[in-house]
Amino acid sequence: QVQLVESGGGLVQAGGSLSLSCAASGRRISSYTMSWFRQAPGKEREFVATITWSGSDIYYADSVKGRFTISRDNAKNTVYLQMNSLKPDDTAVYYCTAGQRVRLHIRAEQYDYWGQGTQVTVSS
């Protein structure tokens, strides 16, 4: 089993930046596909970004492309999400997730482990 703990969320004005971290424990994440999803109240959980086990393949939702950067440090067993130029529509709980047999990375049901989430609030 893998335990995931997100941190770094908070309140920021539109145009500002936040950096999220996802610390994994229980197993090494070097062989896992790691992703970030987010969920706003009353909305379905939506895909944000994916980084594969090698770090060579990275995918972003169109809504965050050019503003967010996902990265991983397997030695530290940690995944990051750098968020720049934040918009009010980015307000959501952000979840870190890990999967070993991920083929459709934008589908939440593809993943095996989830963190508890960290709140990101962007004011107008």
pLDDT tens digits, residue range 35-85?
999 999 999 999 999 999 777 799 999 999 999 999 999 889 999 999 999
Q: Tokens 């009010």 — which residue?
A: 88
Question: What angle is formed at CA 37 by the lines to CA 4 and CA 65, rounded to 5 degrees?
Answer: 125
The reported pLDDT for the residue numbered 28 is 83
Compute CA distances 27 → 23, 24, 32, 77, 107, whole Å: 11, 7, 10, 9, 23
The DSSP code for 15 is T
Is 22 in contact with 83 (CB distance < 8 Å)?
no
